[in-house]
Amino acid sequence: MGKLEPNIDVSLFKIDAEQMVSGKRVGDIKPVPLEQLEKEFNSFERIDLDDVTHKEVLRTLFSDYLIDSTNEADRQLFLSMSRFDRRHSTFVTGCFDNESTEEFRLISHKPQMKDGVKWKTRAGTSPNSTPLVRIFTDDGTIYFIEGHRDALTAILLGLDFVMIPYAGYKAADPSYLQNEVAGREVVFLVEEKAVLAVEEVFLEVKKNS
């Protein structure tokens, strides 16, 4: 008898770390409309730097110095991309796409440490396929960083940056990013020690720039 091979699309059954924690398969989750995502994100509390609870949550991620010393434009951008979930007492970062326009388009949101997940992606969204670019100078160094928290830190520090969503990210069409960094000095920031806070890495980079 010949060898029988089942006609199964294995890609439908691949799961990532978050799905392993939640026990949900890809096929169980329907995409969330962008309008609904925006309503959800804006239903969370806007960060109020005078709110004691908000301030305590921020301190687990960013130092007072970092928030207090940033310029007003960077502070306002940071606040527009951040929320507080009072129900779960957690910080929420928005995930944005700005590849096609100058405006940031909300494509997901991630609360910190929800259901045992360090940054839990909103089910039905796929932000880990989208980099975020913030380059506002004509000749400054552009830093490649990893993750949405690092992006918020880079915003507070006023850096030009490209945020890749995770370490194994590969752009389907790299020409967009290549055009963004053409002719510029590029630095890839890597945390050499797991215990070294990302903010310390950024501060050291800014001090030496």
Q: 115-159: per-residue pLDDT in tens? A: 889 999 999 999 988 999 999 999 999 999 999 999 999 999 999
Q: 13-22: per-residue pLDDT in tens? A: 444 544 444 4
pLDDT at 11 over 70: no
The residues that bridge with 96 in the sheet, in sequence order, are 106
Mean pLDDT of 18-38: 69
Q: Which of 188, 57, 50 is nearest to 113 (CA)?
A: 57
pLDDT at 1 over 70: no
Q: Which residue has the tokens 């398969």?
A: 25
Whole-number average pLDDT of the chain: 82
Mean pLDDT of 85-112: 90
Mean pLDDT of 83-93: 96
Q: According to the model, what pLDDT value does residue 22 have?
A: 42
pLDDT top residue among 28 and 182: 182
Ranges assigned E (strand) in the chain:
45-46, 82-85, 90-97, 105-114, 117-119, 132-134, 142-146, 160-164, 186-188
The DSSP secondary-structure symbol of 60 reads: T
Q: According to the model, what pLDDT value does residue 4 have?
A: 54
Q: 38-84: per-residue pLDDT in tens? A: 999 999 999 999 999 999 999 999 989 899 999 999 999 999 999 99
CB neighbour class for 40 (10 Å; exposed up to 12, middle 13-18, buried from 19): middle
* CA–CA separation, 194 and 177 (whole Å): 28
* CA–CA separation, 37 and 207 (whole Å): 38
Dihedral angle sign, alpha carbons of residues 33, 35, 41, 44: negative
